[in-house]
Structure 1
């Protein structure tokens, strides 16, 4: 009889052959070719086809019962729940992914590339959704298949949830999960999205920073006025708004709004981040050492602290400037925030801060974007430690374990609504051009991701329940 160790190695070898033999690229090509750009009008048929014609048949072959559901928010893409129940006494694992992608931005891709066709160049696998998120959930589905092929069973109960609106803020996800709480009940969520800390470093994160977008607006008068006749007599809204923004942070971006400075960077969180070295990888930007909170390490700044960003600033007509003092200015801004920052007080706190600095005339306007809340998993959580031990067993390298990612996901739906710990194992890297032209997945990371997830799913079915 084959030993347990040999059987585990067999499942991992199957995953490796799937990649090396071209199976991964073939599956990914079909999925990338479905234009599931949820931000585009008329995308609903493609979103439905992705779940109904592509993903559901693939999972049905693995013994999953699949059902597609309409979004409770009219006009947005559907959800798919796939379930494989083996033994009520064993743990249930929920796996999440999203089948929608951002706009293709077709005309901006480099010559020879297309957002809707997979192109492999060296270690890069190009195509819209290769990194976010089609490539990542394709890895996880394939790893489940490899375990089933080797063992004949998973050894645990598996539920897979795919949504098609993540790139538009996951409209309807919370209401859907509340309505289907029993169908989605699980002991843990194990999903894949976002980047690794560094391309060569397996990574686990347990939560995400929250995000809120808002506008700062200032209108001083109707119409523009000649800068020669009125310069020095009329206040310039661009200058006033620039000074208002300057009171939010200092010259190196350190936040000055008291309520935006979290007190949750504990010794335990610092300890978890002590081994975290942020690396963008080839083609990524170089970290500005003199930017951000001076007392923190780069990892603490992005995983343990809040960051304020000006995403766009407009006054006058930047494309065709004229010699006139503009009447108004607007800045599109964002705060990424960690656990411990009260989402309901973010904009009121900013209002108080601007007022106290003499900028009462600057409007603070909440954006229409959905606010994503911050979540965090204790690094000592048994599920996180279980996943870390499994990945180290497979790769021979200890993964970095982050309490939360720097980016945002609708993770609060799983932690707060469904009430489960969340373990995320990303298969991308920071310089993947996610949400930009030339999006790509790194072949070595995808190949290792398949091996890691086959090992992790194998181990979940092998030992006693974690808890």
Structure 2
């Protein structure tokens, strides 16, 4: 039997087995595997055990690895393939608070009819249990048709993603030889806003920095000291205002070192998305992009670095009025990075920038809040074009290479520690309400997601 005929048999098997697959997903979703809450540590392990049992039944060699936090689940199929692939997902979920905003219990999964189609409603339905199970159901159907699993598959399913992945990097270093493959595949992303399938090929990095400006040893009366004593809020405001020029460019020396121009192929893909910036901003009560002059909206979101003030505090901000010069002022600032920008260099440049604004009698202290570089995938790897064609065939819409304005640190970890690129393909929708009450995953996303992986596996074998 040829590959095309077997693929059709796999797709038919997935279609006919959709309801049992949804039943399996419901069992998985009913486990309250909230990794941030110590009270649910046993539930997280129960989810790991459930997943391991499912994979063993399919013929994978499975291990549950204890960590200082929650377990890692790894699995392997038989060696011998032309291209080893590492599949990553996470089985832990976010907390459910506020519980009173849920229309049904968050760990009592149910299929609901909505105006746009059937959805499965539960915490973790979209992030990430439903997405993870698109992998598993594709493997299940493949084995049913071929009699064996695809060769050279490595699975890594994490139980700490929603609590910051504290055990992940040490685990990757300790097990690098067992996990290294030719390409990682990550299922924790979504389709483009218009519903077309997408492959995320670049992710911005992130630097988080808190700064505190200290002046007098106490709050001062502005009538007695105003105009003479240093005001840390004023100092901080001047430093923060000077972070950007009137063209929207960041003024830190060397900030744009390593920032590439947009690849022509990506530029064409992004242009074809017909992104409507006014509509996007209109959903949150805004109208006009104000970012870097001369850049398109998608460039600003996906391919250009940023500097943003995330919070600022100091002095008295309660009811009424209090005429003081505060003893200190603080701000939290984040930078999104692209290309090969160096997080350590950006952090140092920001700290130097602040110090240049300090008058006598003022000092600054800094508190770091994470740093990760951008991740840019090499789309010249034939796997990207093959996966794009497979997605286009399945969804009946031209798949797109897109960027992501946020950060998915695991992709950078795979590059840094295991030396391999990642292909990020997921089927979530913008309205899935991940991390919020009433999370859902479209049944179409689940069904066609599994079919998509069957097509991609066939194309890459």
User: Would the TM-score normalized by the shorter structure come out above 0.5?
Assistant: yes
2:102 is aligned with 1:101: no
Map of 2:80 onto structure 1:
88
328-337 vs 123-132, greater mean Cα deviation: 123-132
2:24 is aligned with 1:27: yes
Map of 1:378 onto structure 2:
378
Counterparts in 2 of 1:196 and 1:394: CA distance versus 1, 3 Å: closer
Distance 2:436 2:331 in 1: 22
Deviation at 1:206, TM superposition (A): 2.9
Paired residues, what number? 451
> What's the RMSD between the two structures over aligned residues?
3.1
Distance 2:315 2:20 in 1: 53
Distance 2:55 2:283 in 1: 36
Counterparts in 2 of 1:375 and 1:234: CA distance versus 1, 3 Å: same
2:187 is aligned with 1:192: yes
- From 62, 68, 79, the equivalent of 2:64 is 68
Q: In the TM superposition, what are the counterparts of 1:35-434 in structure 2 within 5 Å?
A: 35-52=32-49, 54-71=50-67, 74=68, 76-85=69-78, 87-107=79-99, 110-119=101-110, 120=112, 122=114, 123=117, 124-225=119-220, 236-250=231-245, 254-261=249-256, 262-268=258-264, 269-278=266-275, 285=284, 288-316=287-315, 318=317, 323-325=322-324, 326-357=326-357, 361=362, 363=364, 365-369=366-370, 371-402=371-402, 406-434=406-434
Deviation at 1:89, TM superposition (A): 4.3
**SS across alignment from 1:260:** coil
Deviation at 1:420, TM superposition (A): 2.0
Distance 1:287 1:223 in 2: 40
**SS across alignment from 1:310:** strand
7-16 vs 250-259, greater mean Cα deviation: 250-259
TM-score by length of 1: 0.85
Question: Runs of 5+ in structure 1 lacking a partner?
Answer: 462-467
Deviation at 1:350, TM superposition (A): 0.7
**SS across alignment from 2:34:** coil
Deviation at 1:100, TM superposition (A): 2.1
Distance 1:61 1:282 in 2: 48
Distance 2:5 2:283 in 1: 39
315-324 vs 43-52, greater mean Cα deviation: 315-324
Deviation at 1:22, TM superposition (A): 6.0
Deviation at 1:456, TM superposition (A): 1.4
Question: Runs of 5+ in structure 2 lacking a partner?
Answer: none
Map of 1:465 onto structure 2:
none
Contact 1:202 1:398 survives alignment (8 Å):
yes
TM-score by length of 2: 0.86
Map of 1:15 onto structure 2:
14
Deviation at 1:27, TM superposition (A): 3.1
Contact 1:195 1:428 survives alignment (8 Å):
yes
Q: Provide Cα deviations, 1:226-284, integer angstroms capped at 9, x if missing partner.
A: 56666666555444423322222357854332433353124445455443445798996
Map of 2:435 onto structure 1:
435
Q: Provide Cα deviations, 1:375-412, integer angstroms capped at 9, x if missing partner.
A: 11123221111111221222232211136664323212
